[in-house]
Amino acid sequence: MYSVRLSDIPRTISFRTGLMFLGLFLFSFLALFGYIYWQTTVYLRAEADAALHRQADNRSRLSSVDRLQEILVHNRQDADQRTPHSLFDAEGNHLAGAVKQLPDTKVFDRPSDYNWHKADDRHRPLRFMLHRLDDGNILMVAQDAHDIHEFNELLVRAMISGGVLLLLVGLVGSIALGYFARRRLDSLSHSISEIVKGDLSRRLPTRGNNDDVDRIAMVVNGMLDELERLMSEVKGVCDDIAHDLRTPLTRLMAGLERAQRRGVTADDYARTIDAALSEAGALLSTFRALLRISEIEDSARRSHFAPVDLNLVAADAAELFEPLAEERGISLTYAPSPNTPMISGDAQLLFDATCNLLDNAIKFSPDQGAVHLSISDGPEGVSLHVSDNGPGIAEAEREAVLRRLYRAEASRHTPGNGLGLSMVAAVARLHDMSLRIGDAQPGCLVELRLRPARG
């Protein structure tokens, strides 16, 4: 469990991203609500103004007597004075109606706002319009604007409260995002610190939801797998060099020291030199093989990839090793696969890998034995199989034999340097192929499989 300080949260990308989206949502919310407020206000004012124009038009069509009578009747019916109408003479003196004083504005036929001061000292907002009549009098029609103002205030309060709520929820959400992101990053940082300290078996934690952090963690974990493998191989190579190369170097030095200390004939010197050259040649062959594996593992070799027919590569390898198999009475059979698709790879490296597998199979098969080479193509991909009926490889050693210079106990006295399967493994990795060692019952089965590309 990792503790997260509050001061660490604002520095996280998730928190800042949350704040950015909060600002975007808040701006969108205010813009939307402002548009609704503006449209509602415009609509309500337009409706009120249209009603004022209709009332003024209706009143202006009446005669002076009927108009006065209509205004008196209207004011008696409008007890709450929601739509007060008044009549003034040309000088602005009150003639009839609830509003006793003419507003200061003298603009006619255009609605305006007016704060009506009533007799009971109460104020009421009015939306009114003045109209000049044919007889010179002034008609004032008005409508109570209290409901419009109240509705506008309600919209403003709703906008403010909604904005505050959105701000609070957004801040809490941003803090939560920052908190969980910080916890996850702390977990990753802790794992990386352990790896930096030397624990190469440690891996970055993943959640399995394949999000951005998971994908990066999986790529890093794959890199760590490869790094751990390389470090293990380096350690294994050092150990194996110290173990396997010590013997030929010891024999070489011992033979030279014997020739130096003893009085020997020219023939003895010649034999000693020949033995030393043979040992040195074997050592050079081992180091050349090591350099060859390093060259194969260089990803720059991928630039030389071209379409390769695996059937043709296997056929050439089988033809090359057929005479060696016949010398020992071993039956070497080859079964191609029809309609096998071309693969992308290095034909020479695939040929060398196949030759190494056939060389091992023939080397460890008994006389009059059998070696089988085949190509198959199925839903799981194109694969190459080499099987024999020799002693096979113990299950406990099937991973170890892929290490450089490693030799199983059963093959200690067999010629070789323990680098054949290491080279095959390097070729497989370069071509993204899987290498599997199994049991042929009896014997050993080696499979190189190229997984099909995902569509």
Q: Give the three-state DSSP class for 134.
A: coil
pLDDT at residue 278 is higher than 80: no
Which tokens is 397 given?
Answer: 């050693």
- CATH topology classification for 298-450: Heat Shock Protein 90 (3.30.565)
pLDDT at residue 372 is higher than 90: yes
Mean pLDDT of 427-440: 85
Identity of the highest mean pLDDT range in 195-199, 262-266, 384-388: 384-388
Task: Give pLDDT tens digits for 10-49.
Answer: 766 777 777 787 788 888 888 888 888 888 888 888 888 8
Instruction: Return mean pLDDT, the chain.
Output: 79
Share of the chain above pLDDT 70, in %: 82
pLDDT at residue 121 is higher than 60: no
Task: Give pLDDT tens digits for 211-269.
Answer: 777 888 888 888 888 787 777 766 655 655 655 566 677 777 777 777 776 666 777 77
- Give me the residue spans of the domains in the chain: 1-199, 200-244, 247-296, 298-450
Of 175, 180, 211, the residue nearest 19 (C-alpha): 175
**Band of residue 386 on the pLDDT scale cut at 50, 70, 90:** very high
Residue 3's pLDDT is 54
> Using alpha carbons only, how large is the chain's radius of gyration in Å?
48
Q: How far lies 213's CA from each of 9, 181, 184, 272, 283, in Å?
A: 18, 10, 9, 64, 48
**Band of residue 373 on the pLDDT scale cut at 50, 70, 90:** very high
Q: What's the CA angle centered on 426, arms 438 and 339, to 5 degrees? A: 65
Are 412 and 399 a contacting pair, CB within 8 Å? no
* DSSP-assigned letter for residue 135: T
End-to-end Cα separation, the chain, in angstroms: 41
Pairing of strands 370-378, 331-335: parallel
Residue 296's pLDDT is 63
Q: Residues, the chain, total?
A: 455
Which tokens is 316 given?
Answer: 């050439």
Residue 1's pLDDT is 45
Prediction pTM value: 0.47
Are 191 and 203 a contacting pair, CB within 8 Å? yes
- What letters, b where the CB count within 10 A reaches 16 and e where it falls short, cover 79-90? eebebbbbbbee
Which tokens is 231 given?
Answer: 């470090």
Mean pLDDT of 121-129: 77
Which of the residue ranges 156-170, 296-310, 375-389 would you say has the lowest mean pLDDT? 296-310
Residue 454's pLDDT is 46
Mean pLDDT of 80-92: 83
Residue 118's pLDDT is 67
Which tokens is 273 given?
Answer: 């030199």
Which of the residue ranges 88-97, 152-161, 337-346, 398-407 would you say has the lowest mean pLDDT? 398-407
1-199 architecture in CATH? 2-Layer Sandwich (3.30)
Which of the residue ranges 10-14, 79-83, 390-394 would you say has the lowest mean pLDDT? 10-14
